[in-house]
């Protein structure tokens, strides 16, 4: 809070100085927009808003937008105000907009506050094989003209597991206080995104903050609420013994697990109350927690200078494992017009995020690269579990981020000519300091220090000119240039076996006064490891754009860009991308006097946009990068116990001749309004093909490489977006409006490097002509109950990879009929991404009461229930020192439907419960009642009482209310990007909130 009050004092001084300027012809008006001017729709929730209108800095000269012209007839975009979505206590942008825009799909793999979430617009442009591919598939997010930077995935190259990136692993879009946002725009087609170039190849999301205003006002928004703990069914050692006993009864001679010398000790003693007694751990893991948010804003000034300043704080406690997020925000925007033709504007958005992370064993062991004895899991008994949790109090896990965005802009207006010059910055830094006491790691303490930052600097110049001839021909010309500098850096160090558990400050710091100053003070030098890396890329762009409208009926647009990237190879440094579009007002052409059809527009656009390389080493040509860590650990620089020098990451062979990847896009759309716009609709058919993408092909093993990075992969996404909004009832005291958005998307692999027709990468199989989001699985037809049921050909029984199948093994389908079950009998099945997704909003209003509901759905999506595969494959996952043997406290939670799985012989060498079979493939379609809110507007009552409050709205809401799904796992949303449900995602809790929105 001291940080916020300091910001308040500084900004108050600036405000007082700015409001003292002399009045004159200037900013004026009720609102002034200082980035892209957009047409304000008459209806509260218009389907469409202009995205490519002229970038005039001065609102009073926006004459070309007074009527429907080329600027809002050629692009596919939807604009909404945050209040039009629903009153949802969202931590991040992704949570707020999920299910609200056709074509936008949001993945929320965990309910842990502040954890990373993913967005995809019109499908994934590439196979999602790693976090690097997920990063390259994200849309661009722009805040008031500032293109926001993401968390670069290059740190994953030194990690053995990619569950979480080293460092804070905090969602960078959790820094935006939605109470400061005036509108949210989603741009999907190339006509809308071309102006942003290759940064927006995956689409763009435009956030426009509430702008400074001449009218002085004070806003106060707050809510308080509770997250409800889930209802769970717990189990104990007795239950687990009974579960395993069935397998012993079927497949062992005496049927007694007590005779099995390999049977885990923690289950063998049924009288042991630690494991076979009370399973009452849930009170220590799950909780009913409080959440709250508050935002205070001040707006005012004169027609020569105005400002908006806000302070905010949000605390969101997770429902599980004592997780939570605390965010402090300050935002300041100012506009000054010292001369009639000169305008200066600036914005600063500063945030501090502190996040309490989960205490999962898996995440902790993956972080420390060390697995202790896993023969006994955490006990479900409350007394023992609390003793385990107390050990965390001997250490700490401080996880915090500082994020700041801002811009300074100078605009000049000389008649129809406008010029602007903008410098913007987005900087975020993260710190994570860890200390785990030796009691958590069998006498081996652990410490880690991390610091990293992502920085984007952007300098842009833009000039526009408007020309109107005979009130029939309208021209709009734009030329622009931009420079972007991105820098990413991290410094990570960790150490084992500290001197004691009491030194908890500067754990890895050395003593500079000692001769051997490289030796840490508290940890042995031999057990201290340091890693640092830095990467960066630059992008320079030039573009020109021309728009033409004839008689307000026909519209044409064309854009030509030249983009040069430092991450491209020297022979292909530049990429040239054209975009064209045509719009036709059918209403103005044929239906001008038709009172039923309010508006009807046809539009078509096509173009090409480049795709940036994410790594700088792709531009370097052939290179050699060694991996000499010991087996299973990528980060320890040693070979056969001898220390060596090596780069901290590995890469495949990278050759010459790698061109720019690019996306060819086609969009055909219709927009219309009927009955005085009481019914509005937007339909878009699209096809986008991403070509010349890089793919790591297994190759060159004889030279020490595992893969070769080669160009030539192409993926096509095609589908349809539909948005419909209707005012169903509109009476004096009662109204009912409804809006639905739908997206159907299908993808197909069009080409592979080297002209290959198919390729196997890890557990994935890709074939040209097939979707890229399918699973490669064996087909399971049940169980062989007796050896006589096993097929025999030429005296040889059916085999799995050379091992003869026996009674108790799965009936895997021999697809090619060669009497051998192997990879040739796997087939592509299911889709990890939905084929149909969307949302439905209903808004009811009776006098001053309002009721809003929001439904969200995914259809045609399937998941691999890996959690159940792990549960049944207990023989192969018991007690080993690897991540597959880790059992969280939630191991003692009953999940899934055990009855749907056959009782295979778990000792069979074919591994009957292997995850790569359709036995664990489940329909994960769902329908969710995501939000219900009830509000009352007290504004009219206060006006009658002559109370000086402009607006007062109180509301209550329930969120994540109900889920309808055939999926038997925890939640069909809680899965990773690859479609595998490991069971580690924390629940998306049901939340109840009460809030107040007030303006003075």
Secondary structure (DSSP) of 162-181: -SS-SS----GGGG--GGGE
- Between CA 535 and CA 122 the distance in angstroms is 30
Distance of CA 883 to the CA centre of its chain: 25
697, 660 contact by CB (below 8 A): no
For residue 66, the model assigns a pLDDT of 34
The C-alpha atoms of residue 966 and residue 858 are separated, in whole angstroms, by 12
> Number of C-alpha atoms within 13 angstroms, CB side, residue 209?
30
Taking the C-alpha atoms of residue 698 and residue 707, their distance in angstroms, rounded to an integer, is 4
- 909: Cα separation from own chain's centroid: 39
* Residue pair 448/492 in contact by the 8 Å Cβ criterion: yes
For residue 301 the two structure tokens come to 């000034």
Cα-only R_g, the chain: 30
Distances in Å between the alpha carbon of 488 and those of 142, 149, 479?
Answer: 19, 10, 30
Domain coordinates of the chain in residue numbers? Answer: 2-226+288-767, 779-825+866-914
Cα–Cα distance measured from residue 959 to residue 209, given in angstroms and rounded to the nearest whole number: 25
- The pair phi, psi for residue 198, each rounded to 5°, is -65, -15
Collapsing DSSP states into helix, strand and coil, what is residue 103? Answer: coil
Q: H helices of 805-931, where? A: 866-872
3-state SS assignment for residue 85: helix
H runs (alpha helix) in 67-112: 82-85, 93-97
> In angstroms, what CA-CA distances link 470 with 166, 474, 585?
62, 9, 20
693 vs 715: CA distance, rounded Å: 9
Of 184, 188, 173, give the one whose Cα is nearest residue 123: 188
Token pair listed for 400: 């915090």
Find, among 396, 370, 406, 502, the residue nearest to 449 by Cα: 396
CA angle 885, 318, 114 (to 5 degrees): 85
The answer to whether the beta carbons of residues 168 and 431 sit under 8 Å apart is yes
Residue 555: which region, alpha, beta or left (left: phi > 0; alpha: psi -120 to 50)?
A: beta
Contact (Cβ atoms closer than 8 angstroms) between residue 723 and residue 741 = yes
| CA proximity to 959, closest of 929, 984, 987, 936 | 929
pLDDT along the chain (1000 residues), means of 10: 40 36 34 29 34 31 34 59 70 93 95 96 96 96 96 89 92 92 92 94 95 84 95 95 94 81 87 91 96 94 91 96 97 94 96 96 90 91 95 95 97 95 97 94 91 97 96 95 97 89 70 62 81 93 96 94 96 96 94 93 96 90 61 50 47 86 96 94 96 91 78 97 94 93 97 96 96 98 96 94 95 96 97 96 94 96 96 91 91 94 96 97 97 93 85 94 95 94 94 93
CA distance 705 to 1: 53
CA-CA-CA-CA torsion sign (151, 156, 158, 161): positive
Rounded CA-CA distance 211/334 in Å is: 9
Query: What pLDDT, on the 0 to 100 scale, is given for residue 50?
Result: 33
Measured distance between the N- and C-terminal CA atoms of the chain, rounded to whole angstroms: 24
The pLDDT value given to residue 629: 52
**What is the side-by-side order of every strand in the sheet holding 181-187?**
77-80, 181-187, 204-209, 140-143, 146-147
**CA 979 to chain centroid:** 15
Return the closest-CA partner of residue 37 out of 60, 21, 53, 17: 53
Q: Are strands 554-565 and 289-301 parallel, antiparallel or unpaired?
A: unpaired
- Residue 237, φ and ψ in degrees, nearest 5: -60, -35
Write out the H or E segment, with its range, that includes residue 997. strand 990-999
Q: Which two tokens stand for residue 570?
A: 């020297």
Residue 568 parent element (H or E)? none
Are the CB atoms for 402 and 509 separated by under 8 Å?
Answer: no
Q: How far apart are CA 784 and CA 805, in angstroms?
A: 9
The whole-angstrom separation of Cα 691 and Cα 350 is 38
CA–CA separation, 239 and 248 (whole Å): 15
> For 83-114, b where at least 16 C-beta lie within 10 A, e where not — what string?
bbbbbbbbbbbbbbbbbbbbbbbbbbbbbbbb
Q: Are 557 and 546 in contact (CB under 8 A)?
A: yes
Domain 2-226+288-767 sits in which CATH superfamily?
A: TonB-dependent receptor, beta-barrel domain (2.40.170.20)
Are 44 and 84 a contacting pair, CB within 8 Å? yes
Number of other CB atoms surrounding residue 17 within 10 Å = 11
C-alpha 839/C-alpha 723 separation (Å) is 10
Instruction: Give CA–CA dist 706/686, Å, rounded.
Output: 37
| Dihedral over Cα of 82, 86, 88, 92: its sign | negative
For β-strands 653-654 and 707-730, DSSP reports them as parallel
- What pLDDT score was predicted for residue 500? 85
Q: What angle do CA 114, 118, 123 make, to 5 degrees?
A: 165
CB-based burial label for 259 (10 Å; 0-12, 13-18, 19+): exposed
Neighbour-count burial of 421, counting CB atoms closer than 10 A to its CB (0-12 exposed, 13-18 middle, 19+ buried): middle
- CB atoms < 10 A from the CB of 184, how many? 22
DSSP-assigned beta bridge partners for residue 852:
843, 933
Q: Coil, helix or strand for 450?
A: strand
DSSP 20: T
pTM of the model: 0.90
Give the integer Cα–Cα distance in Å for 602 and 668. Answer: 8
Listed residue (358, 357, 354) closest to 403, CA to CA: 354
* Sequence-distant (≥ 6) Cβ neighbours of residue 189 within 8 angstroms: 75, 76, 605, 665, 667, 669, 684, 686
């Amino acid at each position: 809070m001291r940080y916020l009050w300091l910001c308040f004092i500084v900004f108050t001084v600036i405000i007082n100085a700015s409001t003292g300027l002399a009045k004159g012809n200037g900013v004026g008006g009720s609102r002034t927009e200082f980035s892209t001017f957009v047409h304000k729709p008459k209806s509260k929730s218009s389907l469409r808003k202009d995205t490519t209108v002229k970038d005039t800095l001065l609102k009073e000269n926006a004459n070309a937008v007074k009527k429907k012209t080329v600027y809002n007839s050629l692009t596919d975009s939807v604009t909404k105000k945050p209040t039009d979505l629903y009153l949802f206590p969202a931590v991040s942008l992704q949570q707020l907009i999920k299910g609200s825009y056709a074509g936008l799909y949001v993945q929320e793999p965990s309910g842990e506050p502040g954890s990373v979430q993913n967005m995809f617009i019109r499908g994934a442009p590439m196979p999602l094989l790693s976090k690097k591919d997920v990063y390259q598939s994200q849309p661009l997010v722009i805040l008031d003209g500032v293109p926001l930077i993401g968390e670069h995935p290059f740190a994953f190259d030194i990690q053995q597991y990619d569950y979480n990136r080293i460092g804070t692993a905090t969602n960078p879009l959790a820094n935006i206080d939605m109470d400061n946002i005036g509108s949210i725009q989603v741009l999907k087609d190339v006509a809308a995104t071309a102006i942003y170039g290759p940064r927006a190849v995956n689409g763009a999301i435009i956030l426009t903050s509430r702008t400074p205003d001449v009218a002085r006002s004070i806003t106060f928004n707050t809510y308080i609420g509770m997250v409800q703990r889930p209802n769970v069914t717990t189990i104990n050692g007795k239950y687990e013994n009974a579960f395993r006993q069935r397998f012993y009864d079927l497949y062992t001679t005496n049927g007694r697990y007590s005779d099995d010398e390999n049977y885990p000790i923690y289950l063998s003693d049924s009288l042991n109350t630690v494991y076979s007694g009370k399973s009452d751990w849930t009170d220590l893991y799950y909780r009913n927690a409080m959440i709250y948010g508050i935002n205070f804003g001040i707006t005012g000034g004169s027609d020569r200078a105005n400002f908006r300043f806000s302070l905010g704080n949000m605390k969101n406690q997770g429902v599980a494992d004592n997780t939570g997020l605390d965010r402090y925000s300050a935002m300041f925007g100012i506009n000054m017009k010292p001369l009639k033709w000169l305008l200066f504007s600036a914005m600063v958005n500063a945030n501090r995020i502190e996040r309490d992370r989960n205490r999962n064993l898996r995440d902790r062991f993956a972080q420390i690269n060390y697995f202790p004895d896993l023969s006994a899991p955490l006990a479900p008994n409350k007394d023992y579990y609390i003793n385990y949790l107390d050990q965390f109090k001997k250490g700490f896990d401080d996880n915090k981020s500082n994020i700041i965005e801002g811009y300074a802009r100078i605009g000049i207006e000389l008649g129809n000519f406008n010029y602007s010059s903008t410098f913007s910055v987005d900087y975020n830094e993260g710190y994570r300091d860890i200390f785990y006491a030796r009691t958590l790691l069998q006498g081996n303490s652990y410490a880690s220090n991390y610091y990293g930052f992502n920085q984007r600097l952007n300098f842009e110049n833009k000039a526009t000119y408007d020309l109107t001839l005979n009130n029939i021909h309208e021209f709009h010309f734009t030329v622009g240039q931009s420079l972007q500098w991105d820098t990413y850096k991290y410094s990570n160090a960790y150490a084992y076996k500290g001197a004691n558990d009491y030194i908890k400050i500067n754990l890895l710091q050395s003593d500079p006064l000692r001769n051997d100053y490289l030796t840490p003070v508290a940890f042995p030098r031999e057990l201290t490891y340091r890693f640092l890396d830095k990467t960066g890329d630059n992008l320079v762009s030039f573009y020109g754009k021309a728009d033409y409208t004839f008689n307000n009926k026909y519209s044409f647009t064309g854009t030509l860009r030249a983009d040069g990237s430092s991450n491209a190879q020297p022979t292909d440094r530049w990429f040239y991308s054209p975009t064209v579009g045509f719009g036709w007002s059918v209403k103005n052409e044929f239906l001008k006097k038709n009172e039923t059809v309010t508006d009807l527009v046809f539009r078509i656009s096509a173009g090409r946009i480049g795709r940036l390389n994410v790594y700088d080493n792709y531009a370097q040509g052939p290179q050699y990068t060694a991996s000499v860590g010991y087996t299973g650990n990528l980060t320890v620089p040693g070979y056969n116990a001898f220390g060596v020098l090596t780069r901290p990451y590995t890469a495949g062979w990278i050759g010459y001749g790698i061109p720019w990847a690019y996306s060819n896009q086609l969009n055909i759309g219709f927009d219309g309004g009927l009955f005085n716009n009481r019914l509005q609709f937007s339909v878009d058919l699209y096809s986008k093909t991403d070509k010349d993408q890089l793919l790591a092909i297994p190759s060159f093993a004889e030279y020490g490489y595992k893969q070769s990075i080669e160009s030539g992969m192409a993926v096509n996404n095609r589908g349809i977006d539909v948005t419909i909004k209707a005012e169903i009832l509109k009476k004096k005291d009662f109204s009912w409006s409804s809006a639905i958005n739908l997206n159907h998307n299908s993808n197909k692999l069009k080409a592979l490097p080297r002209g290959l027709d198919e390729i196997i990468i890890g557990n994935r199989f890709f074939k040209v002509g097939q979707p890229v989001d399918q699973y490669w699985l064996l087909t399971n037809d049940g169980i062989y109950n007796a050896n006589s049921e096993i097929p025999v050909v030429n005296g040889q029984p059916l085999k799995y990879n050379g091992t003869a199948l026996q009674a108790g093994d799965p009936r895997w389908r021999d697809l090619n009929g060669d009497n051998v079950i192997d990879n040739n009998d796997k087939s592509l099945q299911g889709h990890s991404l939905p084929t149909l997704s969307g949302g439905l909003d209903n808004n009811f209003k009776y006098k001053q009461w309002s009721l809003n509901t929001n439904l969200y759905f995914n259809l045609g999506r399937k998941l691999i229930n890996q959690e159940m595969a792990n549960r049944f494959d207990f023989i192969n996952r018991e007690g080993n020192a690897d991540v597959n043997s880790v059992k969280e406290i939630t191991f003692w939670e009953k999940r899934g439907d055990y009855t749907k799985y056959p009782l295979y012989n778990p000792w069979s060498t074919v591994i009957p419960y292997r995850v790569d079979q359709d036995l664990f493939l489940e329909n994960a379609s769902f329908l969710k009642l995501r939000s219900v809110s009830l509000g009352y507007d007290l504004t009219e009552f206060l006006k009658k009482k002559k109370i000086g409050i402009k607006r007062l709205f109180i509301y209550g809401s329930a969120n994540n209310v109900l889920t309808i799904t055939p999926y038997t796992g925890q939640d069909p949303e809680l899965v990773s990007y690859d479609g595998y449900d490991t069971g580690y995602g924390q629940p998306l809790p049901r939340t109840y909130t009460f809030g107040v929105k007030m303006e003075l």
